[in-house]
Amino acid sequence: MNELEKARSIINEVDAEMAVLWEKRMKAVEMVVQYKMEHGLPVFDGKREKEVIERNAQRVHDEHLKAYYIETLQMMMDISKKYQKEIMER
């Protein structure tokens, strides 16, 4: 296996793990939106988003990658909000 194939194999493994974790995260989002609907809370919680980004960004030690990770977190939260709105509209 050459270096490119090795790198791609690692990416494939990580992607498979991320798919499982993504589904787990979105199931938790369903729980969150259910609570929000029951308590009349809005989808967007800016304070919570800020906390999530700050806490999780600290877990990335490579400073060159940190901004990309923050962008990834923000995209996941944007998708989460979109999914929550969809559930609320049902």
Domain boundaries along the sequence of the chain: 3-89
pLDDT value, residue 1:
86
Structure tokens given for 49: 């988003």
User: What global pTM score does this model have?
Assistant: 0.90
**Contact predicate 26/83, CB 8 Å:** yes
DSSP H helices, the chain, are 3-39, 46-57, 63-89
Q: What percent of the chain clears pLDDT 90, i.e. is strictly above it?
A: 98
Architecture of 3-89 per CATH? Up-down Bundle (1.20)
Convert the pLDDT of each residue in 22-40 to its tens digit: 999 999 999 999 999 999 9
